[in-house]
Amino acid sequence: MRFPGISASVLDVVGQTPLVALDRLSAGLRARVLGKYEAANPGLSVKDRPALQIIEDAERTGVIKPGDTVIERTSGNMGTGLAIACALKGYKLVIVMSAGNSLERQKAIKALGAKIVLVPQVNGRPGQVTGDDLKAVERVTNELTVKLKAFRADQFKNRSSVKAHYTGTGPEIWKQTGGKVDVYVGVVGSSGSFTGIVRYLKKKNPNLRAVVVEPTAASILSGKRKTPGRHKLQGVGYMEIPQLYDPGLVDEFISIGDAEAMRTARKLARTEGMLVGYTAGANVAAALRVAKRAKRPMNIVTILCDSGMKYLSTGLFD
C-alpha cells in the first residue's frame, strides 16, 4: 500500500533539495546569494542525482541488469551516489579512487556495500590529488573494467550527468526562484552540474549570466594557467577540459584560492549554520564577489555541493 507521506525507497529522496538564502553572509549587499543545498541528498552531495540517472539510463537501454558489476573512478561523491543506487537496485559496485582522498569518503562507500580499490599517489600529498595521481587511477580503472566485464559509469563522459541536472536541478532552481534567477555561479568537475543547470536556465532566461569558479592553482578553463598546480578543492579543477564542459555557456571566470574557500566554508558553518565542504566554500566566495559588485537587486544562485561531514579529518574546520 502506498502512503503519500512515505518514500518508497531512499532513491525517491534524491533531488528536490532546498534553496537557502544566505542572507547573513550577504547582509548589506544589494544582491541575494541563494545556495542550492545539495548536501541534503542521501549521499550528502550533488552527485547523487547523476549517479542515479546513469544507472537508470543504463537499465533503460538494456546495458545493465541486476547482478552485473558497475565500476567507476571517483574522488568519492560519485562513488557514494552510485553505492546508494547499486545497493537498492542489486548491482555489485567497484570504486577506484586515489589514496589521497579523505578517509570519510572511503569509509562511507564501503559502508554502503561497495568494494574500494585504492591507488597509491604518484606525487600528491594526502588531501591533495594531482593530475598524475588521477592518471594512475584511470589506468587501474581501465584494466579492471575489462577484467571484471564491468559497466563503467564514466561520469566524465556520460551525458546522463548533464541530463540529471538539466531535468532536475535546473528546473528546481527555476521554480524555487519563481523564474527570478540572474546569475549562476558554479565549480566545474565533470561539468555535469554546470552544463546541465546553465543550459536549462539560459533556455528559460537567455540573459542569465553564468560564472565558472576555478581553484586559483588550476585555472585552466579560463586559460590563466597552463599547468595546474595543487589545490584542496576535491572533486573539481582537474588538468583536463572535461568533455561535458561547454565553453559557449560561460560568461565569466572567477578563481578562488584554498584559503578563501576554507574561510568561506567556516563562515557558512558559523553564520548560516550550514556545514559544507571546500567546493561549496569556493562557490559561495565567488557568489559573494559577484554580489558585492551588483548595482541592482538580483538573485545569484550557487551550489552547496557537499557536506562538511566529509572533511572532518582534513583541516577544513580546524
Ligand X SMILES: Cc1ncc(COP(=O)(O)O)c(C=O)c1O
Size of the chain, expressed as the number of residues it contains: 318
Q: Which of 191, 216, 302, 314 binds ligand X (CB under 6 A)?
A: 191
Beta-strand pair 32-37/19-21:
antiparallel
Q: Is the torsion defined by CA of 308, 37, 26, 194 positive or negative?
A: positive
Supply the minimum distance, in Å, between the C-beta of residue 36 and ligand X. Answer: 12
**Does residue 188 touch ligand X according to CB under 6 A?**
yes
Active site residue 47: yes
Supply the minimum distance, in Å, between the C-beta of residue 141 and ligand X. Answer: 15
**Does residue 194 touch ligand X according to CB under 6 A?**
yes
Beta-carbon count within 10 A of 88 CB: 15
Window 206-225: contact mask with ligand X (x via CB under 6 A): --------------------
3-class DSSP state for residue 254?
strand
Cell numbers placing 66: 541486476
In angstroms, the Cα distances linking 218 to 226, 230, 254 are 8, 7, 12
Environment class of 177 (CB within 10 Å of its CB; exposed 0-12, middle 13-18, buried 19+): middle
Window 53-82: contact mask with ligand X (x via CB under 6 A): ----------------------x-xx----
**Does residue 46 touch ligand X according to CB under 6 A?**
yes
Residue nearest to ligand X (CB): 235
Indicate the residue among 34 and 54 with the shorter CB distance to ligand X. 54
Report, as residue numbers or ranges, the catalytic residues. Answer: 47
Q: Which residues bind ligand X (CB under 6 A)?
A: 45-47, 75, 77-78, 187-194, 234-236, 277, 279, 305-306
